[in-house]
Amino acid sequence: LGVMVPAGTILDTAIERKADMVGLSGLITPSLDEMVMVAREMTRRGMTMPLLIGGATTSRQHTAVKIAPEYEPPVVHVLDASRVVDVVSSLIGDRRREFDRQNRADQEEIRQRYKARTEKPLLSYEAAFANRLKYDWDEHVIATPSFIGRRYLDDVPLATIAKYIDWTYFFSAWELKGRYPQILDHPQYGAAARELFEHAQAILKEIIDSRLLRARGVYAFWPALADGDDIVVFRDESRQEVFARLPMLRQQEIQPDERANLSLADYVAPRGSGVPDYVGMFAVTAGIGADDLVRRYEADHDDYRAIIVKALADRLAEAFATRLHAVVREDWGFGKKATLEEMFAEKHRSIRPAYGYPACPDHSGKFELFRLLDAERQGIALTDHAAMTPPASVSGLYFSHPHARYFNVGRIGRDQAESYARRKGVAIEEVERWLSSNLAYEPAEFALKC
């Protein structure tokens, strides 16, 4: 039916067409709440067809803990599109009872593990902040970018970007697990991997030679400082005019080995340190033209090539982000140039966390990010639910701190959610919707609906 379709339309259509099952796909965090509401509505209507759950933001855990309890018929998490045929066959074939029994048993085990983990106490937000990263800013070696403001990247050659593709993730999208190029010689599915790789290379060559896709982007550096768990962004080096405040979240779970409770704000020099620090940001796409190309193949009933194009556009967007990160490191003057292998493994100074991912899980942060970047000028936009269009797009922040690393914020308490809402200037209910998967408590609104 397409994207962002109301629950009523989905279920009305399923009934009208006498569908055997309903499938939902979620790309962004708000989709997770919507799936729960669809499951409740299916229960209210007395529907009995299986419900399939998939998409980038979904997981077996969320399906088992939040969705399955809302709907008695089978609710199955499908890892990716390549697994749908097997799951559907199992649900309508001779082994459907055994498949359903095993799926329910697995989900109950997931719920029990989740319950045991979430019952562990959190630090108060105040205590978590007190246990922030300890760093001697007096000894900090300042990294000063070569320019302040935005740089726009128009029609970047795909041949240049393609050199930065990490093919390992291309194969994993097809459920072919293993590192590239070793996967091509895998004793079990090396032959399938080689055939897929050959087809992908041919289509990629056609895309590059005929310029069927276009890549555009923007990146920027701004003066910045940390004010508590907010990153304050200034418009210029005078540091007089505040351009934006970017609220960040902090780990509240007790960390092992007396480690710090991290926030991305820890990686920016705090107010009063006297260190003139900076933050970077970016948005890139390699998906301009992808929809038209996919529709062309689908019109020819060539779903195989259409799926490969989508996968290649995603890989090119990630490759663009990797390539740009190398450029940013040079612009920031980090010294030693990283090899491609080091870039893939992220074994270098600086990180590029993305909104909606573990270190800053609130997708709504992209709205301010896109404003600061003027990303729409480059043909990259956001839906009301903060999904990027074209879908083959990547965005995020850059941090130059020598100790910066990726981490998972994990569960947060109501005290931090309330602080975060105040700092963002929004209602607590809005924060709870965007961060539903991170809450260590049941929001009042959710509890009332239950």
- The Cα–Cα gap between 437 and 432 comes to 9
For the stretch 204-232, pLDDT in tens is 999 999 999 999 999 999 999 999 999 99
Please give the pLDDT value at position 116. 79
Please give the pLDDT value at position 203. 96
Query: Which pLDDT band holds residue 19 (cuts at 50, 70, 90)?
Result: very high
For the stretch 138-196, pLDDT in tens is 999 889 999 999 999 999 999 999 999 999 989 987 878 889 999 999 998 899 999 99
Q: CB-hemisphere CA count at 13 Å for 72?
A: 6
Using CB atoms within 10 Å of the CB of residue 345, give its burial: 0 to 12 exposed, 13 to 18 middle, 19+ buried.
exposed
The one-letter amino acid code at 324 reads L
Statement: residue 270 has pLDDT above 60? yes
Residues paired with residue 234 on neighbouring β-strands, in sequence order: 242
Statement: residue 450 has pLDDT above 60? no
Q: Hey, CA dihedral for 395, 399, 405, 411, is it positive or negative?
A: negative
Complete edge-to-edge strand list for the sheet that includes strand 51-54: 22-25, 51-54, 75-77
For the stretch 109-123, pLDDT in tens is 999 988 877 777 899
For the stretch 75-100, pLDDT in tens is 999 977 667 888 898 898 888 999 99
Backbone angles phi, psi at 277, to 5 degrees: -100, 175
Please give the pLDDT value at position 55. 82
Statement: residue 290 has pLDDT above 90? yes
Query: Which pLDDT band holds residue 324 (cuts at 50, 70, 90)?
Result: very high
Please give the pLDDT value at position 28. 66
Please give the pLDDT value at position 444. 67
- Peptide linkage before 247 cis (omega within 30 of 0): no
Which of 439, 435, 444 lies closest to 411, judged by CA? 439
Residues paired with residue 395 on neighbouring β-strands, in sequence order: 283
User: What element of type H or E holds 24?
Assistant: strand 22-25
For the stretch 132-153, pLDDT in tens is 999 999 999 889 999 999 999 9
Please give the pLDDT value at position 447. 42
Please give the pLDDT value at position 341. 84
What is the pLDDT of the chain when averaged over all its residues?
A: 92
- Provide mean pLDDT across the span 283-306: 94
In this structure, what DSSP letter does residue 438 have?
Answer: G
Please give the pLDDT value at position 448. 39
Percent of the chain residues topping a pLDDT of 70: 96
Query: Which pLDDT band holds residue 446 (cuts at 50, 70, 90)?
Result: very low
Q: E strands along 55-203, which residues?
A: 75-77, 149-153
Please give the pLDDT value at position 92. 87
